[in-house]
Structures are given as C-alpha cells and as structure tokens.
Structure 1
Amino acid sequence: MSNINIPTSTSVLESAVIRAPLSHVWHHIKLAEFGKWLSVLEKSECVKGGTSPDTDIVRWAFKDGTVLEIKQEEHSTINHYITYSVITSQPEVSYSSVLSTIRCYPITSGELEGSTFVEWSGHFSSDADAGVIQDAKFKRRDGLADLAKVATQK
C-alpha cells in the first residue's frame, strides 16, 4: 500500500482579535497592499491588461520565489470583506483552485471594545491534500499576526 491519500477537509478558517479599530485594520486589506505587511511577500503589484477592464489582478512575489497572480472576486467596503482567487502560479500548485476571503468585524462592546475580529478563510478544490490545508492554516495565522503588527502601529 503506497501513496495513500488521507481524507481531509478542503477548507481552512483562521481568526484573530486585533487590538485596533476596524478602520485601522481595514485600511490594509487591499490586494496590491499586501506586500507592505505580509512578511512572506517580497512585493505585490497591480497587473496591467487583465482579461477585462473591470477585473482587478495583482501579482504577489513571495520571498521563496513563488509568484501568484491573484484575481479580486468580491470587495465590500460596507461589509468589510475581500474575496480573491489564485489564477496563475509559478511554480504550479498541486491543486486546481482556491477561493479566499478576509472579513473584518468591529468589536462593539465588552473588554475588547474598539478592537477588530478578523477571519481569513480558504476553500480549496477537492484535489488539495492535507499538506496544502495545513500549510494554508499556518500561513493565515502568520498573516493575521503580520496584519496585527501593522494595524496597531501608531
């Protein structure tokens, strides 16, 4: 018995409370701005000449040499979320697709009033294995920590 696939969920959801107001956190949630705070990125930049004039595509160059083109699928400044997908990857990834969402909620009462609850989800195609899901989990945790650092700076 070789090459046994381990059944796994194809979704990941990580969350954090960031001790900063929603406006300070939400300000950084723009795909082209991720390179300013996400520590694994070397740079992020808008890609000109997308498939249509209303399509937002951003290239993320990671410090490990990976380059992803990211398409913004949805964005709401009213409900404070952004949804994006990976449309190209160099080197190629081992799964067909992933759709990710970052959503921010103001904490309006209690001990953490004035803070922001942030969740970062990823929904992978069924060909993503357990290693992909674990990697995504820890990258999101690290990313939320990076976001907290930049959002809480004075």
Structure 2
Amino acid sequence: MASSRIPTSTSVLESAVIEAPFSAVWHLIKLPDFSNWWSQLSKSEVVKGASPETDIIQWTFKDKEGTVIEVKQEEHSSIDHYITYSVITSTPALDYTSVMSTIRAYPITSGKHEGHTYVTWSGNFSSDANADVIEDAKYKRREALADLATAVSKK
C-alpha cells in the first residue's frame, strides 16, 4: 500500500539582515523576552517550579486555539551568539513528536550592510512532521524576524 504522506524536508531555515547594530539585536534574543517583540505572542514567562538548572519558558500565542507551549533552553552561547531551544509541552498537542530550534546572530562587518546584523532561525523537526508543519514554521520564523527588525528600529 502506498503512503499518502507527501515527502518533505524536516528542517527549516529562515534568515534576515536586520538594519540595526548587533548589540541591539542580540540583546532582544532571550526566550523570556520574545513577547516583547514577537507579535504572535501575548505572553512569555519563566515557568515557576522548574529546576534552577533548567530554563523553561512558557509562550502564549495569540492564535484562535490559544496555543500555549513550553520551551526549554538547551544551549546558550554569549561567545558564538546563539540560543537553542526545544518544545517540551504544547496545548493543544503538536501534530509531531519534537522540534529543536536555533537562533543565531552575526555582526556584519563589511560591505553595504556593515554595522547591521544577520540573523538565522532554524528548526529541525522529527520525521513525523508533515509539509504543513514545515510551511507553518517557515512563515512563523519570517514573521518573527520581521517583528524583531521592527522592534529594534523603534529603539
């Protein structure tokens, strides 16, 4: 019997040049502060009662389902300027098993964008994520990067 699933990549990578100094952009890329600039979120807050060694943040989305997810910061580097996080819970439940995302920021040091910031936002999904999930992730990241650029331009 043939599978009805459409084969798709299980990763997504979106990027943007943000016309702001690196320090202004990097300062905003902290999981508990995402609702300060990402228009899709109504709230982002540290989960109380989590282990002191574990950074778990709850994001409440403005979507019609009232989606609430908890993300766990897996890695953070102030030297290489990236954060990696995974989704550990979701209400309503996700249609796939897992996703690991990384946001990286790079200062642009030469050329016509010198003094600006290059940002990438990747997502690596479990193999049960379908094409709709990947497309949704792509557009959410694009919108979020545009929101980040808008937030920095207001400072």
Superposition TM-score, scaled by structure 1 size = 0.96
**Matched position secondary structure for 1:121:** strand
1:98-120 per-position Cα deviation (integer Å, ceiling 9, x unaligned): 00000000000011100000000
Indicate conservation of the 8 Å contact 1:108/1:114, yes or no.
yes
Shift of 1:4: 1.1
Question: 1:5-154, aligned counterparts within 5 Å?
Answer: 5-50=5-50, 52-64=51-63, 65-154=66-155
1:3 to 1:66, Cα distance in 2 relative to 1, 3 A: farther
Counterpart amino acid of residue 60 in structure 2: A
Counterpart amino acid of residue 123 in structure 1: N
In the alignment, the residues of structure 1 paired with residue 152 and residue 25 of structure 2 have an alpha-carbon distance, to the nearest angstrom, of 5
- Aligned residue pairs total 153
Runs of 4 or more consecutive aligned structure 1 residues displaced over 6 Å after TM superposition: none
Superposition TM-score, scaled by structure 2 size = 0.96
Counterpart amino acid of residue 21 in structure 1: P
Counterpart amino acid of residue 5 in structure 1: R
Identical aligned residues as a percent:
68
In the alignment, the residues of structure 2 paired with residue 20 and residue 152 of structure 1 have an alpha-carbon distance, to the nearest angstrom, of 7
1:131-153 per-position Cα deviation (integer Å, ceiling 9, x unaligned): 00000000000000000001122
Point out where structure 1 has 5 or more consecutive residues left out of the alignment. Answer: none
Give the CA RMSD over aligned residues.
1.2
**Matched position secondary structure for 1:144:** helix
Shift of 1:3: 7.2
Point out where structure 2 has 5 or more consecutive residues left out of the alignment. Answer: none
Indicate conservation of the 8 Å contact 1:14/1:140, yes or no.
yes
In the alignment, the residues of structure 2 paired with residue 63 and residue 129 of structure 1 have an alpha-carbon distance, to the nearest angstrom, of 23
Shift of 1:2: 9.2
Shift of 1:53: 1.9
Indicate conservation of the 8 Å contact 1:24/1:152, yes or no.
no
Indicate conservation of the 8 Å contact 1:74/1:83, yes or no.
yes
